[in-house]
Structure 1
Amino acid sequence: MSNLERGTDAAAAAARHPDPAFPRFHPRPAQGWINDPNGLCYVGGRYHVFFQYNPDSARHDRICWGHLSSPDLLRWEEHPVALRPQPGGPDALGCWTGVVTDDGGVPTAAYSGVSAAGGHSQVVLARGSRGLTEWRQEGQVAAPFPADPHVTAVRDPYLFTFHGRRYAVQGAGLASGHAAVLLYRADKLDDWRYEGIWFTTEDALAARHLPAEIWECPQLVRVPDSSGAETCLLMASLWLASDYHHHPNGVGYLLGSLAEDPVTGLPVFTPAKGGKADLGPDFYAPQILSLPDRALLWGWSNEVSGLDGRAGRGQEQTDAAGWAGLLTFPRQLAVHGGSLAVKPASELRGYRGTPRAKGAAGTLHLPGWTAEAVVTGGEGRFRLVLASAAQSRPVFADTVAGGDELSIFVDGSIVEVYRHGSVPATLRAYPEPGEQWRLELPHGAAADVWELRQPATT
Structure 2
Amino acid sequence: MDRRTVLKTGLAAGVASMAVPALEEPAVAADDLPGYPEFPYPPTDYREPLRGQFHFSARYGWMNDPNGLVYHDGQYHLFFQHNPHGLEWAEMHWGHATSPDLVHWTQKPMALQPGTHPNRLWSGNGVVDTADVSGLGAGALLVFTATEGVAVAYSTDGARTFQNYDNGRKLVVPPGTESRDPVVRWDPGSGRWVMVVWSNGGGNGGSFYTSPDLLNWTYRSRFGADWFFECPDFFRLPVDGDPARTRWVLTHAGGDYVIGTFDGTTFRPEWPSPQRMDHGTNFAGGTFYAGQTFGGVPDGRVVQLVWQQGDVRGAAWTGNASFPCELRLVSSPDGIRLTRTPVAEIALLRTGSQTWRDRTVPADGTGDPFAGQHADTYEILAEFDLSRTTARQFGFQLHRRPDGTADRTLTYDVAARTLDGRPLPAVDNLLELRLLVDRGQLEIFGNDGLFSWTDTVAFNSAADSQGIRLFATGGAVRVVSATLHRLGSAWGRGESTLDGNLAGPWTAVGAVWSDTRNGKQGNAGGDGFYLSATRATDFVYEGDVRLETARAVALTFRASADARQHYTACVDSGGIVKLWRPGRDIATARAAIFSGRWFHLKIEATGPRIRVHLDHRPVIDATDTAYATGLLGANVYSGIATVQNLMLNGPGLVSTLAGPWTPVSGAWTVPVARPGLHGLSHSDAFALSATSRADLTYEGDLTIVNGTAAALTFRANADASQHYTANIDAAGLVKLWRPGRDIATYATPIRQGRPYHLRVVATGARLQVFLDGGAAPVIDATDTAFGSGLLGVNVFRGSGVAQNLRHT
TM superposition score normalised by structure 2 = 0.45
Distance 2:151 2:397 in 1: 44
Which residue is equivalent to 1:325? 319
1:173-216 deviation digits (Å, cap 9, x = unpaired): 244xx4211111233433333335x1111xxxxx6xxx25xx21
Contact kept, 8 Å, 1:395 with 1:429, in 2: the verdict is: no
Residues 356-365 or 184-193, more deviating? 356-365
Contact kept, 8 Å, 2:340 with 2:452, in 1: the verdict is: yes
Residues 30-39 or 377-386, more deviating? 377-386
Which residue is equivalent to 2:276? 276
- Give the deviation of 1:127 after TM superposition: 1.5
Are 1:426 and 2:454 counterparts? yes
- Give the deviation of 1:52 after TM superposition: 1.1
CA pair 435-400 structure 1, distance change in 2 beyond 3 A:
farther
- Give the deviation of 1:142 after TM superposition: 3.6
Which residue is equivalent to 1:235? 251
Amino acid corresponding to residue 465 of structure 2 in structure 1: E
Map 1:57-456 onto structure 2 (within 5 A).
57-86=86-115, 90-91=118-119, 93-102=120-129, 103-104=134-135, 105-114=138-147, 121-137=148-164, 139-146=167-174, 148=175, 151-162=176-187, 163-175=190-202, 178-196=203-221, 198-201=222-225, 211-212=227-228, 215-226=229-240, 228=242, 229-237=245-253, 250-259=254-263, 266-272=265-271, 274-281=274-281, 282-290=287-295, 291=297, 293-304=300-311, 321-337=315-331, 338-356=336-354, 358-359=356-357, 364=370, 367-379=374-386, 380-390=393-403, 391-397=405-411, 398=419, 401=426, 402-419=429-446, 420-432=448-460, 433=462, 434-436=464-466, 438-442=468-472, 443-445=477-479, 446-454=481-489
The equivalent position to 1:17 in structure 2, one of 46, 54, 69, is: 46
Q: Between the two structures, name the one with larger relative contact order (CA 8 Å, sep ≥ 6).
A: 1
1:353-398 deviation digits (Å, cap 9, x = unpaired): 1125534755536633211111112335424444334533435441
Residues 441-450 or 158-167, more deviating? 441-450
CA pair 395-63 structure 1, distance change in 2 beyond 3 A:
farther
What secondary structure sits across from 1:326 in the alignment? coil
What secondary structure sits across from 1:374 in the alignment? strand
1:20-75 deviation digits (Å, cap 9, x = unpaired): 20011123332111111111111112211111111111111111111111222233
Which residue is equivalent to 1:309? none
Amino acid corresponding to residue 235 of structure 1 in structure 2: T
CA pair 232-437 structure 1, distance change in 2 beyond 3 A:
farther
- Give the deviation of 1:288 after TM superposition: 0.9
Amino acid corresponding to residue 478 of structure 2 in structure 1: G
Distance 2:488 2:398 in 1: 22
Distance 1:172 1:439 in 2: 48
Which residue is equivalent to 1:241? none
Distance 2:68 2:353 in 1: 36
What secondary structure sits across from 1:143 in the alignment? coil
- Give the deviation of 1:284 after TM superposition: 0.6
Contact kept, 8 Å, 1:21 with 1:431, in 2: the verdict is: yes
- Give the deviation of 1:274 after TM superposition: 4.1
Contact kept, 8 Å, 1:106 with 1:127, in 2: the verdict is: no
- Give the deviation of 1:428 after TM superposition: 0.4
Contact kept, 8 Å, 1:110 with 1:157, in 2: the verdict is: no
What secondary structure sits across from 1:347 in the alignment? helix
Amino acid corresponding to residue 35 of structure 1 in structure 2: N
Distance 2:432 2:157 in 1: 42
Amino acid corresponding to residue 44 of structure 1 in structure 2: D
1:225-262 deviation digits (Å, cap 9, x = unpaired): 2162111111111xxxxxxxxxxxx31111222235xx
Aligned length: 393
Contact kept, 8 Å, 1:108 with 1:125, in 2: the verdict is: no
Gaps of 5+ in 2: 1-38, 282-286, 387-392, 412-418, 494-504, 506-532, 534-808
CA pair 172-437 structure 1, distance change in 2 beyond 3 A:
farther
- Give the deviation of 1:106 after TM superposition: 4.9
Residues 43-52 or 350-359, more deviating? 350-359
CA pair 227-97 structure 1, distance change in 2 beyond 3 A:
closer
Which residue is equivalent to 2:65? 36
- Give the deviation of 1:143 after TM superposition: 2.8
Distance 1:227 1:453 in 2: 32
Distance 1:367 1:339 in 2: 36
Contact kept, 8 Å, 2:53 with 2:488, in 1: the verdict is: no
Contact kept, 8 Å, 1:336 with 1:421, in 2: the verdict is: no
Which residue is equivalent to 2:566? none
CA pair 421-106 structure 1, distance change in 2 beyond 3 A:
closer
Contact kept, 8 Å, 1:224 with 1:294, in 2: the verdict is: no
Amino acid corresponding to residue 394 of structure 1 in structure 2: R
Contact kept, 8 Å, 2:95 with 2:109, in 1: the verdict is: yes
Contact kept, 8 Å, 2:122 with 2:180, in 1: the verdict is: no
Contact kept, 8 Å, 1:110 with 1:123, in 2: the verdict is: no
Contact kept, 8 Å, 2:126 with 2:184, in 1: the verdict is: yes
How large is the Cα RMSD of the aligned pairs? Answer: 2.8
Distance 1:353 1:414 in 2: 19
Amino acid corresponding to residue 466 of structure 2 in structure 1: Q
Which residue is equivalent to 2:591? none
Contact kept, 8 Å, 1:221 with 1:232, in 2: the verdict is: yes
Which residue is equivalent to 2:522? none
- Give the deviation of 1:101 after TM superposition: 3.4
Amino acid corresponding to residue 52 of structure 1 in structure 2: Q
Distance 2:397 2:259 in 1: 32
Amino acid corresponding to residue 100 of structure 2 in structure 1: P
Percent identity of equivalent pairs:
24
Contact kept, 8 Å, 2:144 with 2:182, in 1: the verdict is: yes
- Give the deviation of 1:454 after TM superposition: 4.5
Distance 1:38 1:86 in 2: 19
Contact kept, 8 Å, 1:381 with 1:400, in 2: the verdict is: no
Distance 1:24 1:299 in 2: 16
Amino acid corresponding to residue 345 of structure 1 in structure 2: V
Which residue is equivalent to 2:661? none
